[in-house]
C-alpha cells in the first residue's frame, strides 16, 4: 500500500459519507462482473486498477485493485511477491485469475506468453537511425584503410562528424562487435605488420637511411621514424603479445 498526498482527496471530490462506507462495499461497486474477467471501472495507474482503501487525510492509502482483490478473496500477500494475472488483462480483478509470483516468475510468465516488448531498439531497427548496419561496417572498413577521414566519411554518408568518430571507435552499434579501428597512415593507405617488420630489419642493418626506406615503400620519413622507434601501434602491439 502506498501513501499519497492529501491533495488527491480534493481532486476526487468524495464526501465524508463516502469514505465512512466499508472499503469492501466501495470496491465491489467499481467492478463489472462478467462471465470471464471482472473489469475495473474506476481510475487506473499504468493500466492497472487503482483503489483508495482510505481517502481521509492524512491516512490516504491507494493500492492496486487486483492486489486488494487477492487479499480480499484469497488471503494476505507475502513480502516480495507480486500478484500476477493468468488472463493477461491488467484491468481484471477476478480472484480466480490471479496468482502470486516473484519477480522471476512474473518475467518468465511474460516471456512465455510473448508479452515482452523492449522499450529500445538497437542499430537499424531504431526508427531514428540514419545508417544501416551494413553501412556502419563499410564506414569502419573504409576508415581502416587510411584513405578516408572522419569528415570525408561524414560528408559521404550525410551524418555528423561525431557519429563517424563513435563508429570507428566501436562505441556506436556495439552489437556489431567492430571494436576500435587501429591504423597507421602511409601515404593514404594502411601499412601491414609484415611491412613494418621489414622496415625495422632493413634499418637495423645500417645500410640504408630512413629517407631511402621511405622512398622505397612510398611512405613519409616520419612514418619510418615512428616504426623504427616503436611508436607505431603495430610495433607496440607486437611487443606486448
Q: Is the pLDDT of residue 126 over 60?
A: yes
- All domains in the chain, ordered by first residue: 2-112 (3.90.75.20), 125-181 (no CATH), 186-240 (no CATH)
pTM greater than 0.95 (yes/no): no
Share of the chain above pLDDT 90, in %: 17
* 8-state DSSP, 95: G
Q: What is the pLDDT of residues 146-181, one digit of tens each?
A: 677 888 889 999 999 889 888 888 888 877 777 776
User: In angstroms, rounded to a whole number, what is the distance separating the alpha carbons of residues 105 and 115?
Assistant: 14
Strand order in the sheet with 61-64: 2-3, 61-64, 48-54, 44-45
pLDDT in tens, 166-220: 888 888 887 777 777 665 454 444 567 777 888 888 888 888 898 888 888 777 7
Question: What are the phi and psi torsion angles at 200 (to 5°)?
Answer: -65, -40
Residue 56 is predicted with a pLDDT of 62
Amino acid at each position: 500500500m502506498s501513501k499519497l498526498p492529501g491533495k488527491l482527496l480534493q481532486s476526487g471530490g468524495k464526501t465524508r459519507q463516502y469514505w465512512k462506507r466499508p472499503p469492501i462495499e466501495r470496491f465491489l461497486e467499481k467492478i463489472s462482473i462478467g462471465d470471464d474477467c471482472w473489469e475495473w471501472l474506476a481510475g487506473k495507474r499504468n493500466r492497472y486498477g487503482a483503489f483508495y482503501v482510505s481517502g481521509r487525510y492524512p491516512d490516504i492509502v491507494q493500492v492496486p485493485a487486483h492486489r486488494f482483490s487477492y487479499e480480499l478473496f484469497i488471503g494476505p500477500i507475502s513480502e516480495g511477491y507480486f500478484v500476477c494475472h493468468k488472463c493477461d488483462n491488467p484491468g481484471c480483478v477476478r480472484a480466480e485469475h490471479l496468482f502470486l509470483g516473484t519477480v522471476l516468475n512474473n518475467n518468465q510468465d511474460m516471456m512465455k506468453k510473448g508479452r515482452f516488448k523492449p522499450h529500445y531498439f538497437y542499430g537499424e531497427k531504431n526508427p531514428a537511425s540514419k545508417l544501416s548496419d551494413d553501412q556502419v561496417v563499410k564506414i569502419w572498413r573504409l576508415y581502416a584503410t587510411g584513405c578516408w577521414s572522419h569528415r570525408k566519411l561524414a560528408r559521404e554518408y550525410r551524418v555528423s562528424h561525431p557519429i563517424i568518430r563513435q563508429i570507428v571507435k566501436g562505441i556506436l552499434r556495439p552489437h556489431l562487435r567492430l571494436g576500435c579501428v587501429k591504423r597507421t597512415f602511409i601515404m593514404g593507405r594502411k601499412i601491414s605488420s609484415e611491412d613494418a617488420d621489414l622496415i625495422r630489419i632493413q634499418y637495423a642493418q645500417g645500410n640504408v637511411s630512413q629517407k631511402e626506406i621511405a622512398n622505397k615503400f612510398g611512405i613519409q620519413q616520419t612514418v619510418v621514424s615512428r616504426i623504427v622507434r616503436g611508436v607505431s601501434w603495430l610495433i607496440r602491439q607486437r611487443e606486448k603479445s
